[in-house]
């Protein structure tokens, strides 16, 4: 991936372009690698000391300061998207847990089953996942799980928004070599930003497996009576199908009790194929993907209106226009 000057910035740029603009989605990528200057307070990013750096990881890793899905696809998968709504993929199937022991641990959660299988085959040595039963804006907590018992620990909701990228920082600092992550699309955009960063190398190549949960609306822990809510930042989110994951998963498109799996990378397809061969899961080809495409398209269309509202004028070479006018300009 080529280096972009537009990708460079510091904490002041992050504040101006993301946090004060209300598009932060609380992923934790900025805090994860700068705990000396940044923390979370009441669920929001807070600077704890004056920083005079000209450029920093906080800005470069943030998926809301910089997101280049096409370039990331090319780098991760070797090709750009095959479908405008779903991104790049090799195969889409519907899956169910087959192994009785895994089913007793994971219930019907195929993502957990794949993590358990990967751990048992030593393809991963840890998994950064969300686990908690407590309320409050900082909940649930992320967990760097290293055992099957930790991966299957009970949770109110396993795949929700929250600052779980801090778990990636912890896993790297504690010397984990083969880290998995399971989460929502915006968190995965953050991981890919970290991995493809031209200016900062923090060991994120040790994240070897990324599984994404479909996310239509966003689901965050909140206070004031309701257990979960949406963040303002979700209104400008284009990604339903976790387009940059190795494997994306969700119920849409599958019959009850089955899970749709979108295999994108070689590593993702390899893991699913091996899990099938070993009898951990069973899969069937999914011929009708129209429901997934429709849901992803609806989210993009609805949220692009919101993106247009907050976006600056667009500059392509010397041409400057409102983002919403781009379609009028193209022949």
Chain residues in the site for ligand SF4 (CB under 6 A):
10-11, 14, 18-19, 24-30, 34, 37-38, 45, 51, 53, 56-58, 62-64, 161, 184-186, 190, 215, 217-218, 233-234, 237, 239
Q: Minimum CB separation from ligand SF4 for residue 221, in Å?
A: 11
**Would you say 24 or 244 has its CB closer to ligand SF4?**
24
**Would you say 87 or 161 has its CB closer to ligand SF4?**
161
Cα(266)–Cα(176) distance, rounded to whole angstroms? 22
**Would you say 53 or 125 has its CB closer to ligand SF4?**
53
φ, ψ at 62 (rounded to 5°): -65, 125
Q: Minimum CB separation from ligand SF4 for residue 147, in Å?
A: 28
Is residue 215 a contact partner of residue 208, using CB atoms and an 8 Å limit? no
**Would you say 57 or 99 has its CB closer to ligand SF4?**
57
Q: Kindly give the pairing relationship between strand 207-213 and strand 247-250.
A: parallel
Cα(39)–Cα(20) distance, rounded to whole angstroms? 16
Q: Minimum CB separation from ligand SF4 for residue 138, in Å?
A: 13
3-state secondary structure of 320: strand
Q: Which residue has its beta carbon closest to ligand SF4? A: 56
State the DSSP string of 285-311. E----HHHHHHHHHHHHHHHHHHHHHP
Q: Minimum CB separation from ligand SF4 for residue 312, in Å?
A: 17
**Would you say 116 or 204 has its CB closer to ligand SF4?**
204
Q: Minimum CB separation from ligand SF4 for residue 28, in Å?
A: 5
**Would you say 95 or 194 has its CB closer to ligand SF4?**
194
Q: Minimum CB separation from ligand SF4 for residue 60, in Å?
A: 8
Torsion-angle region of residue 27: left (phi > 0), alpha (psi -120 to 50) or beta?
A: alpha
Is residue 37 a contact partner of residue 170, using CB atoms and an 8 Å limit? no
Rg (CA), the chain: 19
């Amino acid at each position: 991936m080529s280096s972009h000057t537009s990708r460079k910035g510091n904490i002041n740029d992050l504040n101006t372009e993301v946090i004060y603009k209300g598009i932060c989605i609380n992923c934790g990528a900025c805090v994860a690698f700068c705990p000396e200057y940044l923390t979370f307070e009441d669920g929001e990013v807070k600077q704890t000391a004056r920083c005079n750096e000209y450029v920093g990881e906080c800005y470069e890793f943030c998926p809301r300061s910089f997101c280049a899905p096409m370039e990331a696809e090319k780098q991760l998968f070797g090709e750009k998207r095959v479908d405008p709504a779903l991104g790049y993929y090799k195969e889409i199937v519907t899956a169910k847990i087959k192994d009785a022991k895994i089913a007793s641990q994971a219930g019907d959660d195929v993502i957990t089953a794949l993590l358990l299988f990967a751990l048992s085959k030593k393809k991963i040595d840890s998994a950064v996942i969300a686990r908690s039963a407590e309320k409050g804006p900082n909940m649930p907590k992320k967990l760097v799980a290293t055992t099957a018992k930790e991966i299957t620990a009970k949770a109110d909701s396993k795949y929700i928004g929250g600052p779980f990228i801090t778990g990636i920082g912890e896993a790297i600092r504690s010397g984990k070599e083969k880290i998995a992550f399971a989460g929502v699309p915006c968190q995965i955009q953050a991981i890919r930003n970290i991995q493809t960063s031209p200016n900062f190398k923090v060991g994120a190549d040790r994240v070897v497996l990324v599984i994404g949960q479909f996310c239509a609306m966003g689901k965050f822990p909140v206070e004031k009576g309701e257990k979960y809510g949406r963040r303002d930042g979700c209104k400008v989110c284009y990604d339903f199908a976790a387009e940059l994951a190795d494997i994306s998963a969700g119920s849409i498109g599958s019959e009850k009790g089955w899970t749709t799996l979108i295999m994108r990378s070689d590593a993702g397809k390899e893991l699913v194929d091996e899990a099938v061969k070993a009898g951990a899961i069973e899969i069937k080809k999914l011929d009708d993907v129209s429901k997934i495409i429709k849901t992803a398209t609806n989210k993009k269309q609805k949220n692009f209106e919101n993106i247009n509202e907050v976006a600056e004028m667009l500059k392509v070479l010397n041409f400057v226009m409102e983002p919403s006018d781009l379609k009028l300009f193209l022949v």
